[in-house]
Amino acid sequence: MYNYYGYGVESMQITVNQHYVPRFYMKHFANIINAGTKKEKVLISFYQFKDNLLKNNIPTRSVCSEDYFYDQDGKIENALADMETKWSMALRNAIDDNIIIDDIESIREFVVYQISRTKAMLSHNREMAESLMKGVLKQQYGNITDVDVVNKSLENKIQNEITPELNLSVVKETIPTICDLKMMVITNETGMRFITSDVPVIIINPLGIQSAGLSSVGEVIFFPISPWKMIIFYDAKLFNQLSNRICDENIIEIFNQYQYVSADERLLAKEIEDFNHLVSNEKLNSKREQFHKMQKTSIIDDGVGTFVAAKSRSVPYYYNIPILRLPKALRKIPADFRETFPREYSYNTRLAILCQVYREPDFIHDKELIEYWKKQQMYSKILLNYLDNYWNTPRKDCIITPELMKKLKTVPVNAFMNKQR
């Protein structure tokens, strides 16, 4: 008998305490006592946001874990444990500067699994599903009198259906999405250590300032693998070759700030002093609060219908990272006007941008909004010129006939995007 991971499920050991951040990963940030012996202790320091709690040298076996987090029959936990053997070896090789091609693919796999397996992602998906279902119920039945009963029933349904197993079931389909991203191991040559968290893998996009998707132009994924090493996957068609060494503490601080903002319940580090100064940073705490509010799914009722605005758990590009320098043409676009599109070319995507470039603002009556629209048109044109080179757009797709131009100037963007070529 086999589960969907391809591993046998009979006669398996059942682990009660199940980690959503693996112990082999945390070990690289830990202090190890009696290494390699039966008395070995792996101790890590953490900051817990909820209680404003600093803890030093806590065993990793009790950090980033819950009893039966994945399952009670051991199928998922044991399948992950089997894969963690190769992931652990790949990260060890990366730390030791001894990486091979197979390690790169193992790390790519680890990244997508780690994004999907955290407690934060589970909570995010449950909240999104709950908001969506509440929106549907409101649209179908209007105001519900017995709200508490309905909410409790809904909560139970979400808990039973949105599970770690469901999150992990789509991972294999997701991995190919990042296969075109280039991987690099970066060495920290400063005196400041990298920190990590219970959401160690960070997704950002310097081109799509407010949003990032794994398939987007300009995508960047990074996570520290030790206090002195970090792995980064990036869109090499957009960014120039990155340096594999960082000698500026300010850049290390920026990467650590992203960990602070993205973390769910805990920051993790070798020593408390590695993140102590971040805890008291008011501006950083404000960004963190802003980010976590943004993750909430919005329900908008305009009187005609109910719209649900769901957000990914990628982090907005709050802090400029000097090693991620946009091409000169794209640096002309102010941050407020930057946006990103899929790395894979499609004619409909190009049509959507053409709508932004040529759509007449005759539906706008506010002068300031008209000026904003005109700026958006100008910057969208710059972006499209760049993307045509990025995509290697077929020449025939660049032809705008008089009939097409008329549609571009008048047809609503949403309606136009849904048209097939």
- Three-state secondary-structure class, residue 158: helix
Per-residue pLDDT of 282-338, as tens digits, reads 999 999 999 998 877 665 555 555 555 556 678 999 999 999 999 999 999 999 999
Tell me, yes or no, whether 44 lies in a domain: no
Record the tokens describing residue 106, joined without a space. Answer: 């193992």
Least confident of 68-82, 143-157, 254-268: 143-157
Report the pLDDT value the prediction gives residue 50, as an integer from 0 to 100.
93
Instruction: Work out whether the CA dihedral 413, 415, 420, 421 comes out positive or negative.
Output: negative
Instruction: Report the domain count for the chain.
Output: 1
- C-beta atoms surrounding 5 within 10 Å: 18
Per-residue pLDDT of 55-93, as tens digits, reads 999 999 999 999 999 999 989 999 999 999 999 999 999
Helix (H) or strand (E) holding 245: strand 245-246
Tell me, yes or no, whether 418 lies in a domain: yes
Question: What pairs with residue 224 in β-bridges?
Answer: 230
Helix (H) or strand (E) holding 251: helix 249-262
Report the pLDDT value the prediction gives residue 413, as an integer from 0 to 100.
46
Report the pLDDT value the prediction gives residue 241, as an integer from 0 to 100.
85
Q: Which amino acid is at 401?
A: T
Contact 313, 289 (CB under 8 A): no
Tell me, yes or no, whether 365 lies in a domain: yes
- Please choose, from the candidates 205, 210, 198, the residue with its C-alpha nearest in 3D space to the C-alpha of residue 220: 205
Per the structure, the complete domain to which residue 380 belongs is given by 345-421
Tell me, yes or no, whether 363 lies in a domain: yes
Tell me, yes or no, whether 413 lies in a domain: yes
Q: How would DSSP label each residue in 22-57?
A: -HHHHGGGSEEESTTSTT-EEEEEEEETTTTEEEEE
Under the banding of pLDDT at 50, 70 and 90, the label for residue 155 is: confident
Q: Return mean pLDDT, the chain.
A: 88
Report the pLDDT value the prediction gives residue 138, as an integer from 0 to 100.
66
Per-residue pLDDT of 127-139, as tens digits, reads 888 777 777 666 6
Per-residue pLDDT of 186-234, as tens digits, reads 999 999 999 999 999 999 999 987 777 899 999 999 999 999 999 999 9
Residue 1 scores a pLDDT above 50 = no
Please give the DSSP secondary-structure letter assigned to residue 60: G
Cα angle vertex 341, ends 337, 347, to 5°?
120
Residue 149 scores a pLDDT above 80 = no
Report the pLDDT value the prediction gives residue 16, as an integer from 0 to 100.
94
Residues in the chain: 421
Tell me, yes or no, whether 395 lies in a domain: yes
Record the tokens describing residue 398, joined without a space. Answer: 């660049």
- Please choose, from the candidates 18, 29, 131, the residue with its C-alpha nearest in 3D space to the C-alpha of residue 69: 18
Q: What is the pTM of this model?
A: 0.89
Which residues, other chains included, contact 31 with Cβ-Cβ below 8 Å and sequence gap of 6+?
A: 42, 43, 44, 57, 270
Scan for tokens 């709508």, then name that residue.
355
Tell me, yes or no, whether 420 lies in a domain: yes
d(CA 340, CA 220): 12
Tell me, yes or no, whether 232 lies in a domain: no
